Amino acid sequence: MIDQTAAFAGREIFRIGYGTAQLPRLRDRRTEAVALVRRAVELGVDHIDTSQFYGPDVVNELIHEALHPYPEGLRLVTKVGARRDDQAAWLPALSPAELRQGVEDNLRTLEIERIDLVNLRLHADDHGNGLGDPTAEQLGALADLRAEGKLDLIGISNATLAGVRMAVDLVGTVGEVQNPYSILNRSDDETLAFCEEHGIAYVPYFPLGSAFTGGPKRIAEDPVISRVAEKHGATPSQVALAWLLHRSERILLIPGTSSIAHLEENLGAADVTLDGEDMAALAEVEQAGTPHN
């Protein structure tokens, strides 16, 4: 059996949380959205990943409606560094003033005075490889907010390995790295190894591969994943998530969904125990290029 819990933000948490990026799909069905968030917590989720710019300006309000006052032990994680224009396109918002405003907006809409972790969400670098590097000013802005008691931990998202190293050097403890990684996209192995070495949580986004490159559909159609899934009486998606949990004890998952059925399926991945033969077979799954989001 794999460990189903891991240390995070000062306590042991269940290794599968809930990522809320898909929750805006239910913006016009608030009753369903609230029921989904509450069901996640009922099933043991104690780590919710959110952001005020999801929607935009939708998800935190739904989390607040569903859960406030928040259950003891619930860890709330957000990210700053982006904004949305009138067409809901993603734009950088990485100046120190914008980062501060982003944290303040999250605190206001969640109705809390301090948040457990804030990720600095970076954007593609000048070389177009999809990952970015932070600046000292950006990290300093979050360190100032930490000193003011408005956040406990600083994380970094969509970062190069050099960027992660820089964050560790400048802010000391880094709570998590949130980068794209899945059974279909293992290009971030070096950063995962760095996180293991330094005791940093590694939180993959696109844990089932990006929909832009056929991720979930490709997982479902992969013959190796399907064969392992049949062996364990699981779905291919559950095997792909279980593979991540077996890949490293530093990995925490935040699969997103707007469906209670898919939520329950995702959480069931914690009960899929892969053996050495399974892991060897899954190591041969063909990789897919995954765009960064």
Question: For the domain that residue 51 is a member of, what is the CATH number?
Answer: 3.20.20.100
The β-bridge relationship of strands 90-92 and 82-84 is antiparallel
Can you give the pTM of this predicted structure? 0.95
Split at pLDDT 50, 70, 90, the class of 86 is confident
Split at pLDDT 50, 70, 90, the class of 289 is low
pLDDT of residue 2: 87
DSSP E strands: which ranges in 113-209?
Answer: 115-121, 151-157, 174-178, 201-202
| Domain encompassing residue 132 | 5-210+247-273
Q: In this predicted structure, which of 63-77, 199-213, 238-252 has the lowest mean pLDDT?
A: 199-213
**Overall domain count for the chain:** 1
- Distance in angstroms (rounded) separating the CA atoms of residues 163 and 173: 14
Please report whether residue 283 resides in a domain.
no
Active site residues: 54
pLDDT of residue 292: 41
Please report whether residue 109 resides in a domain.
yes
> What mean pLDDT is reported for the chain?
94
Q: Report whether 281 contacts 227 (CB < 8 A).
A: yes
pLDDT digit string (tens) for 104-142? Answer: 999 999 999 999 999 999 988 554 458 999 999 999 999
Q: pLDDT at residue 290 above 50?
A: no
Please report whether residue 242 resides in a domain.
no
Helix 96-110 vs helix 59-67: crossing angle, to nearest 10: 30
CB atoms within 10 A of CB 228: 26
Please report whether residue 180 resides in a domain.
yes
pLDDT digit string (tens) for 176-218? Answer: 999 999 999 999 999 999 999 999 999 999 999 887 777 889 9
Tell me how far CA of residue 25 lies from CA of 70, 83, 155, 241, 267, in angstroms. 23, 18, 26, 23, 20
Please report whether residue 232 resides in a domain.
no
Q: How buried is residue 113: exposed, middle or buried, by Cβ count under 10 Å (0-12/13-18/19+)?
A: exposed
Classify 89 as helix, strand or coil: coil
* Nearest alpha carbon to residue 124 among 168, 84, 158, 79: 158
Residues 6+ apart with CB under 8 A from 117: 9, 75, 77, 78, 151, 152, 153, 154, 155, 175, 176
Please report whether residue 29 resides in a domain.
yes
